[in-house]
Amino acid sequence: MIKIYKLILFFTALTTVAAAQEGPKEANEEAKKEAGEGSKGKAQAKKGLDVSGYVHAQWIATPEKRDWGGHYISTAGGGFTPEVNNRFTVRRCRIKFAYNNDVFSVVAQPDFKERGIKLVDAYAGVNSRSKSYPMGLKVGLYAPPFGYEIERSPTANEFAERSRTILALFPSARDVGAGGSIAAPGGFALDAGMFNGNGVAVENDSYKDFVGRVRWLRRWGGDELGAAVSYRRGAVPGGSSRIYRAGEGFVPETTEHANTYSREYAGFSLWAGKRWSWGLTSIATEWTLGRQPSEAGRFANIAGTGFTSASDLYMRDFVGGYAALVHRIGRTRHSVEVKYDYLDPNRRVRGNEIGLAATGVTPATAADLAYTTVSFGYVYDMNAYVRLLAQYDLTRVERSTALAGFTPADRLRQDVLTLRLQVRVP
């Protein structure tokens, strides 16, 4: 822990020195400009070929060396092992190539990390010229239109990662498909599409997922208020003739042949931004509930691909979401933030019911434990291109004395400290 405190002190000293080297007038004007731009949402796409990118280089640590288990849904870019409790990593290193004109657009964005190279975005779009009802069509690999957080760029997100619920339900926050959007008077818009439903992995079945969203946004001055209602419905093929449905544990059902089992999500999002004499305050909340086919010991595939199973399926009714507050202090470059994050993979069981054996019932597993995380963070925007982030996540996992091998200590040692440097190239 001493090493962690030293790094925090070094991080604080670095931001202080940088602020001292920059005149207060320049800092205030730059912060004011950035605050105004942040309230406008997505910037208008540049015409012609545009190349941009950014790097997220960071050091993350957890209090002790331990195996987090294959069931654990990490929000730290991957879990830890008994051999490692801290690491330097390139969380993201992305270069975006975008070509836009009045009619069509093409985007390609690879991600370069020490673990390898992968494609993040690759799509083509066609836009209408209607001023009354602007429309667009998009085909390829991109973020599905669900909620608020999934489509926000990591450079705009003040927190280290997206919420645990989004990371579990939409691995890599991408999917391959085709969709469209249409805007209507009054700030309303409709987005919808059909997707493979397998994340960034190659499609392995013939079923497609529908994802749709109705959103509303109003801006006045430097303030904004938005809301959205989202829905997803898809299917997962059964890997065997047996399905387990959640109750007090899991009750097995046998069918004559492998069937198709639906996954269904419904979500609500609300966000707002307000500029006032004390600075810029932004709030956002997003909650999702639904049904997810999964494995006995795993609710989601945290490896970044969609979930399909070659074995028995376990149907879980889940609920999850977050509430976040970010405040930029006055006209400075300093921001403080707090976030509450919750995910219950199986709301049909609670506490000591998880792992409890009963006649004719398959016990719930560690994959059914609920997560509660409270995150505290500090952000320093050195200029329009460089950002420093320090964030500490306090995570508590639901306790069950009936779960084999589970001890009270298991719910107390999954906190994560993140120190990150973000450099953006416009």
Three-state SS string across 48-105, please?
Answer: EEEEEEEEEEEEEECCCCCCCCCCCCCCCCCCCECCECEEEEEEEEEEEEEEECCCEE
Highest mean pLDDT among 65-74, 94-103, 408-417: 94-103
| Res 181 pLDDT > 50 | yes
At 242, the pLDDT band (50, 70, 90 cuts) reads: low
pTM of the model: 0.85
What is the reported pLDDT for 49? 93
- Name the one residue in this structure whose structure tokens are 């004719």: 360
Flag the least confident range among 278-282, 377-381, 413-417. Answer: 413-417
At 407, the pLDDT band (50, 70, 90 cuts) reads: low
End-to-end Cα, the chain, rounded Å? 37
| Res 311 pLDDT > 60 | yes
d(CA 323, CA 286): 7
At 354, the pLDDT band (50, 70, 90 cuts) reads: confident
At 412, the pLDDT band (50, 70, 90 cuts) reads: low
What would the two tokens of residue 36 be?
A: 């105004």
Domains of the chain, with CATH numbers? 2-44+62-81+130-425 (2.40.160)
Flag the least confident range among 36-45, 92-101, 165-174. Answer: 36-45
| Res 414 pLDDT > 70 | yes
pLDDT digits over 47-84, tens only? 789 999 999 999 999 987 776 666 677 887 777 777 88
What is the reported pLDDT for 295? 83
What is the reported pLDDT for 37? 37
| Res 310 pLDDT > 80 | no
What mean pLDDT do residues 254-261 have?
63
pLDDT digits over 261-287, tens only? 888 999 999 999 999 999 999 999 999
pLDDT digits over 285-305, tens only? 999 999 988 888 888 865 545
